[in-house]
Every structure is written in structure tokens, then in C-alpha cells.
Amino acid sequence: MTTEKTMNLTLKIWRQKNTNETGKMVDYKVTGISADMSFLEMLDTLNEDLLKNGGEPVSFDHDCREGICGMCSLYINGKPHGPKQTTTCQLHMRSFKDGDTIYIEPWRAAAFPVVKDLAVNRSAFDRIIQQGGFVSVNTGVTVDANEIPIPKTNADLAMDAAACIGCGACVAACKNASAMLFVSAKIAHLGLLPQGQAERDARAEKMIAQMDLEGFGACSNTGACSAECPKGISLFNIARMNRDYYGAKISSNTLE
């Protein structure tokens, strides 16, 4: 008969009441944490203990807890989503050792202001998508899936780019808080397909302009974004986006 492995941990968590107030790191102790728990389940356990003792639970973003939605945006021990290249909700406590001290912070980016504690406002991504993350197609009768031939190479590259879940780990990993990897993935997965050609030039111009307007930094060229991306989005998408952008600028005679 095997005994379940448990651990006792010290958590240093960023607490901040709202966007306008100054935050600080606060220490907490959690005991009897199962190695099979997810990181978010561990935080659930902490919050249950806080509520039982009349404390204020720690606010953090979460939704699907299946590595799909991109909501679980936590900076753990100095890395987006923690020590594994996965989402926080898919990070398990067996990645840590009994007695460890774990530092937990919100995303570090001016464009992602803290809402409360570990929860940040990522609506800047939504506004970027609104500028070009769509295609103009007839929404009437359903078109047969094979009616528009698409080269397999393009289809594969488009699917790889579409795997981006918009979690913001690329921004948090970049020393300049650049959103280039996110924006390039959204531009690439539509621009590689025939359906996305109508808005291709305008998409690149408008989405990049909105990215700059939101206050994201310039690309640092270190590759930290792709290295920390839980979906492994390739840096080649940034190169492809730059080609689309400058091609669009030349075509519209607005190159500065």
C-alpha cells in the first residue's frame, strides 16, 4: 500500500486591493498539499483556509482548468506559468518539493494592469483582436469543408498559429512586455488561409497599430516569448507578420 505524498509549503503572494493601490508580498503557509494537486487546486486549498479563519481569499483568474482558455495567468518563481512549459492549471505540485518557498505574482506588464491580487486586466488583447481578428465571409449556407483547396503546409502552419490561447505568457516573459508573438499568431492563422486574404493588409496594419496604442513594448529578439509559451507558438510568425506589415505599408504608401 502506497502513502500519498504530501508537502508543506511557504507561499509568498502578491496582494493588491485594486489597480490604484500599492501592493505587497504576503507570506502564507499551506500544509498537507498533495503532490497530485494542480497549482490552482493548491490555491483553492489556501483560500478555503483563509475563509475559515476570517481572512480575505486570494483573487486569481481561472476558468476551464484544462489548458485551453488561457485565463490562469500567474507568474511563479520568476517564470510565466511556473517551471514547466504548460499553463498554470496544468502545473502539478509534484513539480515542487516539501518545504519549498513559492513566489506567486501577477503578469508584469503595464498593458495588463492588476485588477486585484493576481488577477489582471487583459482586455488590451481583446481590443487588438477587434481590429482585425476576423474574416469577411458569407454566413449563409454552410460551405463544404473541402470546397476551398488549401495546401497542407499552409493548413498546418495556420493550425499551429491558431493554437495560441491568448494567455499573455509571451508578454510576461518579454523584458520589454512585447505582445508581438500573440499578435503575430493571430495575424498568421488567418493570413495563411484563403479566407483571410481580403483583410490581410488591413489586418496587419490595424492590429499592430492597436498593439502599439495599448502600450506593449518592442520585440526584444531574445525568444523568451516562444520559450515560455505553453502552446509553443513559433517565432517565425513574428517574421511573417513583419513581412505582411511592411508589404501592406508599401502598398498603401504609408511607410514611415
Give the pLDDT confidence score for residue 139 in this predicted structure: 67
- Mean pLDDT value of segment 61-83: 95
pLDDT band at residue 3, thresholds of 50, 70 and 90?
low
Cβ atoms of 169 and 229 within 8 Å: the answer is yes
Q: Which residues of the chain are in CATH 1.10.1060.10 domains? A: 123-251
Q: Which residues of the chain are in CATH 3.10.20.30 domains? A: 6-116
CATH class of 123-251: mainly alpha
In 115-179, which residue ranges form alpha helices assigned H by DSSP?
123-130, 152-162, 169-173
Do you know the residue count of the chain? 256
pLDDT tens per residue across span 81-98:
999 999 999 999 999 999
What is the DSSP secondary structure assignment for residue 92, as one 8-state letter? B
pLDDT band at residue 141, thresholds of 50, 70 and 90?
confident
Give the pLDDT confidence score for residue 58 in this predicted structure: 98
CA distances from 85 to 31, 136, 182 (A): 26, 35, 16
Give the pLDDT confidence score for residue 2 in this predicted structure: 55
Q: Which fold has domain 6-116?
A: Ubiquitin-like (UB roll) (3.10.20)
Task: For residue 157, count other CB atoms closer than 10 A to its CB.
Answer: 19
Is the pLDDT reported for residue 137 higher than 90? no
Q: Which run of H or E residues covers position 114?
A: strand 114-116
pLDDT tens per residue across span 187-236:
999 999 998 998 999 999 999 999 999 999 999 999 999 999 999 999 99
Model pTM greater than 0.85? Answer: yes
Q: What is the DSSP string of 48-64?
A: HHHHHTT-PPPP---S-
Whole-number percent of the chain with pLDDT over 90: 86
